[in-house]
Chains A and B, each alone.
Chain A
Amino acid sequence: MREKATTLYLGPQHPGITGNMMVRLKVEGDTIVGATTEVGYLHRAFEKLQEKRNWLQSFTLMCRFCVPETDPMEESYARAVEAIEGREVPERAKYIRVMVLELARLASFMLWYGGQNGSLGLYTMGQWSVGDRNYILDLFEELTGGRVYHMYIWPGGVRRDLPQGFEKRVLKTMDYLEKRLDDYDDLMFDNAIFKKRTQGVGIVNKEKAIEHGVVGPVLRGCGIRSDIRIDDPYEVYDKLDFEVPTAEGSDIWARALVRRQEARQSIRIIRQVIDMMPGGEFYNKVPNPQKWTLPKGDAYVRTESVRGEIGMYIASDGGTNPRRVHLRGAAYVHAITLLEDVLIGENIADVSAIMNSLGTCPPEIER
């Protein structure tokens, strides 16, 4: 007797991803034969709100686009505004910006460890890594005043200088975290349950990757070596020495291996930056930010975040308010058309793990 396909509604709340999204699955037995995604639970209409706010006020909206990792959005806004106006940034500010970006990347990795394992049912990892993430948030609180929303990177530099003795505290935290990454290896990557549940699941092969426009760790998990920090370098990344890891296999296990290596490279970059930090100015002052106008033009800048490539397009018409600010996160490309393609043929129990591994972050998709 042949079964008919039934529809199963999964969502809006998933274990492991930060945000709400609905996936409608058509299943026959335990195998998925079709999937439709639905977003819109977190839509705040950012781009409409920016029509009424001037350049200073819309900077405060920038960091709330993506909640786990908030600094790349501010940095792309700052770089795009500087590109339109032609404003120079002092050297010390560029090094401080790179340090803040890499610290945010490490904090987001810690949250990813908890999420990926939580969606498979291994809850101990979340307790360890979210507890260690608090040490990085303490550093942010000392530097900028807030744990989650920083509002620190501003067109022209950064808003205030490093406190006294800050570099020593950062290096101490990095030593502690490097030892903890070895502990996570024992718990997560040598774990037979994790290996069995993630090898051969959620495969994105090379042709599909290029056809869907995939970016970030998903592309590096297919064996293609592509990273914005090397292809199109910004700030001072062309002076630093680090590796870009790749892995073969294109399943969840390969992407987890790529992210494991990237966390170590982040620690390496932070140590180099603190070594090479020059003295000098940290801010190229904007005269009277309340009445600041930019010349007519547009710019498009790209940043590498934990999930992939973030593109920010800003158009200005010569006034005090921006004409159009359009940010596109990596999840916009992965979580709608690619997810509907990858889910066909998988089991229901693996849906959450696949969504987390592709880097789904719904606040970024619907802004």
Chain B
Amino acid sequence: MQELKQKLTANIKAAYPEIKEKDYPGNRLDFTVDKQYLVSILTYLKESLGYIHLSHIACVDWLEEGEFEVIFILWSPEEKLKVFLRVRVDRENPVMPNVDMIWRQANTYEREMREMFGIQFEGLEAPEEFVLEDWQGPPPMRRDFDTESYANETFFHRPGREDALDVREEIIKRSREEIPDFAKKYSR
């Protein structure tokens, strides 16, 4: 396992010298790349090094740092290693290259990221709406969109118990019984 990881790191660093890597226990290896090398490094991993399976594309919103982080996770059936490729995109004007032509299923992931986060992919050909219909608000998965206040304004709620009585007291009052001693230690 450790020699395979070192061989892979040596291969990648020979072709792309500015990459930073980080090692984890188990069969996981992380690389942080720049946006401009993304398509070429993915093609190199798929065609020459045997990482033919794209397992996942995830996106995390780091609001405090003002960036999105997009993570590509690849798997190789022969070497049995997982490779994470991390890319950071600016939050004000997020533009990413399209990797549709390498793996066809990336089309679905990119459609969802475009709708939920607002990231634009150059050259993506797909219908605009994926999951939401006639949505006029901001991209919903961004951290500055508050879903609870939106739900309170748009939908009716069933009015509940505004007074929030203590259930245990009420039951004691109604049934006029004492709770036994062993149950008393479970109150809040």
Q: Which of B4-12, B37-45, B139-147 lies on the face that meets chain A?
A: B139-147
Partner of A226, one of B55, B77, B103: B77
Q: Is B120's beta carbon under 8 Å from chain A?
A: no
**Is B58 a contact of A212 with CB atoms below 8 Å?**
no
Partner of B143, one of A51, A328, A332: A51
Q: Is B13's beta carbon under 8 Å from chain A?
A: no
**Is B73 a contact of A311 with CB atoms below 8 Å?**
yes
Contacts of A315 in B (CB 8 A): 58, 60
**Is A40 a contact of B55 with CB atoms below 8 Å?**
no
**Is B105 a contact of A300 with CB atoms below 8 Å?**
no
CB distance from A325 to the nearest CB of B (A): 10
**Is B127 a contact of A337 with CB atoms below 8 Å?**
no
- Of all chain A residues, the one with the shortest Cβ separation from B69 is A315
**Is B104 a contact of A313 with CB atoms below 8 Å?**
no
CB distance from A7 to the nearest CB of B (A): 15
Given the interface pairs A300-B56, A300-B73, the reply to whether A45 lies near B140 with Cβ below 8 Å is: yes
Contacts of B28 in A (CB 8 A): 300
Given the interface pairs A39-B130, A40-B131, A43-B132, the reply to whether A337 lies near B108 with Cβ below 8 Å is: yes
> CA–CA, A311 to B109, complex, Å?
13
> CA–CA, A232 to B82, complex, Å?
10
- Of all chain A residues, the one with the shortest Cβ separation from B143 is A51
Contacts of A326 in B (CB 8 A): 56, 58-59
**Is A337 a contact of B77 with CB atoms below 8 Å?**
no
CB distance from A61 to the nearest CB of B (A): 14
Given the interface pairs A210-B52, A300-B82, the reply to whether A337 lies near B147 with Cβ below 8 Å is: no
**Is A40 a contact of B60 with CB atoms below 8 Å?**
no
Contact with B along A275-308 (1 / 0, CB 8 A): 0000000000000000000000010101000000
Q: Is B98's beta carbon under 8 Å from chain A?
A: no
**Is A231 a contact of B77 with CB atoms below 8 Å?**
yes
> CA–CA, A300 to B81, complex, Å?
13
Contacts of B107 in A (CB 8 A): 336-337
**Is A213 a contact of B60 with CB atoms below 8 Å?**
no
Contact with A along B106-119 (1 / 0, CB 8 A): 01100000000000
**Is A231 a contact of B80 with CB atoms below 8 Å?**
yes
Contacts of A346 in B (CB 8 A): none
Q: Is B54's beta carbon under 8 Å from chain A?
A: yes
Given the interface pairs A213-B53, A213-B105, the reply to whether A48 lies near B27 with Cβ below 8 Å is: no
In B139-170, the 8 Å CB interface with A consists of 140-141, 143, 147-148
Contacts of B71 in A (CB 8 A): 298, 313
Contacts of A102 in B (CB 8 A): none
In A340-367, the 8 Å CB interface with B consists of 366
**Is B82 a contact of A333 with CB atoms below 8 Å?**
no
**Is B60 a contact of A323 with CB atoms below 8 Å?**
yes
Partner of B56, one of A51, A52, A311: A311
Contacts of B82 in A (CB 8 A): 300
Given the interface pairs A36-B127, A300-B84, A311-B73, the reply to whether A48 lies near B140 with Cβ below 8 Å is: yes
> CA–CA, A313 to B147, complex, Å?
22
In A75-109, the 8 Å CB interface with B consists of none
CB distance from B187 to the nearest CB of A (A): 16
**Is B60 a contact of A333 with CB atoms below 8 Å?**
no
Q: Is B133's beta carbon under 8 Å from chain A?
A: yes
Partner of B58, one of A232, A309, A313: A313
CB distance from B119 to the nearest CB of A (A): 15
Q: Is A133's beta carbon under 8 Å from chain B?
A: no
Partner of A39, one of B80, B131, B140, B147: B131
In A308-328, the 8 Å CB interface with B consists of 309, 311, 313, 315, 323-324, 326, 328
> Top 3 A-B pairs ranked by shortest CB distance?
A40-B131, A213-B105, A313-B58
15 contacts between A and B (CB under 8 A): A36-B127, A40-B133, A43-B131, A43-B132, A52-B147, A213-B54, A231-B80, A232-B80, A300-B73, A300-B84, A302-B55, A313-B56, A313-B73, A315-B58, A326-B56
